[in-house]
Structure 1
Amino acid sequence: MTDPQEAIDAEAAIRAKERDARVGDRTAGEVQDGIPFIGAGPGDPGLLTVTGKELVEAADLVVHAGSLVNSELLEEYCADAERVSSIGKDLEELVPLMRDAYEAGRDAVRLHSGDPAIYGAALEQMDALEHEGVPTYLVPGVTSAFAASATLRTQLTLNGVANHVAFTRPRGKTLDPEDDHIGEFVEMGDVTTCIYLGTHAVGETMDRLLEEGHDPQTPVAVVYHASWPDEEVIEGTIETIGDRLEAAGYRASAMVVIGDAARKAGYERSYLYDGWANRGSTESEADD
């Protein structure tokens, strides 16, 4: 097997010169040859897509994201498959496992939590497999930010409140301080900021926002285990949410939503349902 980093670099070098021939030839919902990288959704088995469900049900090998994927989903849809957790395994273990299964004629799937395109580290696995001659493709999933907005019974974008959405993560081992733009997003005012992988750092993040002079009354909602049976919502503001989350004891697996859309107040009626969308047809009919 080629060293995974060498494989990733080699695939990146190819893409720098030419586009993947499959782009534009295959759609996102199309079942293709190779190993699908499937988004399992935020937790509730019902939020797995129809295509994802069909693929995992037919699989001989399911390499999944451990406890990040609901065990009920695995038991209900993957009962007859060999199930291997990817937790604690590196590319040197995962790539040969999936490659060998594919070359042996087994139906293998890679099951990520949420959507693999958002903080999923899917592409490096896919590139390493492609370099080994194993085709791969993505099957989208429902990301936790969307499950959180559904739980909060709001929209991430609201007319007159939030025109933009930012998916981000806080500084830490993976993200250097200069690459942390949470404060910039909050400062824009009309951005709903969704923080992934940052439950453990909520208090520190809010303290920094206060030090930077952001409005302490800015709404913040934290949705732990969105769509899971033990889901919990903790609401507050930039000033209070750190202490409230610490009291709840959650250090992981929560989506943090900052902005007025989290409180779903003060929005304006959209143009879509005030007759604006039908004005052209109404005027043309009047002319006839």
Structure 2
Amino acid sequence: MTDPQEAIDATAAARATERDPRIEERTAGEVQEGIPFIGAGPGDPGLLTVTGRRLVEAADLVVHAGSLVNSDLLEAYCADAEQVSSVGRDLEELVPLMRDTYEAGRTVARLHSGDPAIYGAAVEQMDALEHEGVPTYLVPGVTSAFAASATLRTQLTLNGVANHVAFTRPQGKTLDPDDDHVGAFVGMGDVTTCLYLGTHAVGETMDRLLADGHDPETPVAVVYHASWPDEDVVEGTIETIGERLETAGYRASAMVVIGDAARKAGYERSYLYGDWANRGPDEGEADD
């Protein structure tokens, strides 16, 4: 096979001059020709989409994200398929496996945790497969931030509290300090900051926020294994959450939600179900 990086570079070069015609021909959720890259959701098998379930149930081979995908989901919907974990396997192994299986006439499904569009590393696999002549497409899933929001019984956006949502990650082995923007998002005040891939670094991240002068009383909620049977919630503030999480012993697989929306406090009634919703057409035109 072509070197995966060469395939990625070639695809990027083509995109600079040509638009993929499938963008106009196909819609999200539509079953298409090729290998689907499916969002398995945050954990609970019931949060796999209807289309996702249909595709994995029909698959001969399911390549999945190891322990990040609930084994109950694999047992419920993929029992008749060959199951291969992608953990510890690089593109040089995964791409030929999926390509050869597909070209042999067998049905392949690639199962990512959450939604593959959020820290999923799906596109590099898709580009490598497409370069090998194997079509691919994305099937959206429920990302862990949304499951955490449901667990916390709140919204990530709340009128008068949070007008924006940031999906981000903290600095570490794979992210340089200059690319860590957690402090900037928290500093905006009306942003709910959802921290992915950072459970192990919560204490360090909060220490940096405190050193930068952020309000130590800013609410923080950490939802471990959102929607899994062993789900747990640790609540606190920028000042206290690091110690509380360390006591709980969680170092991975948690969503960190920073901001007032995490505590559902101080929001205002929206205009949607008030007088604004009942205004007449003349009033609406007058506002334009």
Q: Give the secondary structure class of the aligned counterpart of 1:154.
A: coil
What is residue 222 of structure 1 aligned with on the other side? 222
Q: Does 1:14 align with 2:14?
A: yes
Residue 178 of structure 2 corresponds to residue 174 of structure 1:
no
Which residue does the alignment assign to 2:112?
112
Cα distance, 1:282 vs structure 2? 9.2
TM-fit CA distance, 1:258: 0.2
Q: Where do residues 186-201 of structure 1 align in structure 2 (5 Å cutoff)?
A: 186-201=186-201
Quote the offset at 1:275 in angstroms: 2.5
What is the aligned partner in structure 1 of residue 90 from structure 2? Answer: 90
The residue that corresponds to 1:243 in the other structure is 243
Measured in 2, the distance between the counterparts of 1:283 and 1:156 equals: 31
| Per-residue Cα deviation, 1:204-226 (whole angstroms, up to 9, x for no partner) | 00000000000000000000000
Superposed counterparts of 1:33-48, under 5 Å: 33-48=33-48
Work out the CA distance in 2 between the residues paired with 1:279 and 1:10. 54
Aligned equivalents of 2:66 and 2:114: distance in 1?
Answer: 13
Deviations 1:38-72 (A, max 9, x none): 00000000000000000000000000000000000
Q: Label 1:272 to 1:43 Cα distance change in 2 as closer, same or farther (>3 A).
A: same
Equivalent position amino acid for 2:37 in 1: F
Alignment of 1:140-219 (within 5 A): 140-219=140-219
What is the Cα deviation at residue 106 of structure 1?
0.5
> Normalising by structure 1, what TM-score?
0.97
Question: Residue 95 of structure 1: SS of its match in structure 2?
Answer: helix
In structure 2, what residue type is equivalent to 1:113? S
AA of the residue aligned to 1:44: D
Aligned residue for 1:257, secondary structure, equals strand
Q: Which amino acid aligns with 2:204?
A: E
In structure 2, distance between residues paired with 1:173 and 1:280? 56
CA shift for structure 1 position 278:
2.3
| Distance apart, 1:277 and its partner CA | 1.8
Amino acid at match of 1:213: G
Structure 2: give runs of 5+ residues left out of the alignment. Answer: none
Q: Relative to 1, partners in 2 of residues 1:236 and 1:133: Cα closer, same or farther, differing over 3 Å?
A: same
* 1:131-146 aligned within 5 A: 131-146=131-146
Amino acid at match of 1:59: A
Q: What are the superposed Cα offsets for residues 70-99 of structure 1, whole Å, 9 maximum, x if unpaired?
A: 000000000100000000000000000000
Give the deviation of 1:135 after TM superposition.
0.1
Instruction: Look up the match of 1:27.
Output: 27
Tell me what 2:70 maps to. 70
**Identical amino acids, percent of aligned pairs:** 87
Q: In structure 2, how many angstroms separate the alpha carbons of the residues matched to 1:221 and 1:283? A: 42
Please identify, of 12-21 and 261-270, the stretch whose mean Cα deviation from structure 2 is larger: 12-21
Distance in 2, matches of 1:283 and 1:182, equals 41
Residue by residue, what CA displacement relative to the aligned partner does 1:215-260 show, whole Å, maximum 9, x if unpaired? 0000000000000000000000000000000000000000000000
- 1:268 paired with 2:272, answer no
Letter aligned with residue 259 of structure 1: G
1:280 deviation in Å?
2.1
Q: Within 1, Cα distance between the matches of 2:190 and 2:149?
A: 16
**Secondary structure of 1:23 counterpart:** helix
Structure-2 separation of matches of 1:35 and 1:144: 24
For 2:209 and 2:97, the matched residues in 1 are separated by 44
CA shift, 1:283, in A, is 7.1
Distance 1:195 1:283, change over 3 A: closer
What letter matches 1:187 in structure 2?
G
- In 2, Cα distance between the equivalents of 1:265 and 1:25? 44
Q: How many residues align?
A: 284
What's the offset of the Cα at 1:281?
5.2
Tell me how far apart the structure 2 counterparts of residues 182 and 114 of structure 1 sit (CA, whole Å).
21
In 2, distance between residues paired with 1:112 and 1:237?
A: 31
- Which amino acid in the other structure matches residue 197 of structure 2? L
1:174 is displaced (CA, Å) by 1.4
Q: Which amino acid aligns with 1:162?
A: A
Structure 1 spans left out of the alignment, 5+ residues: none
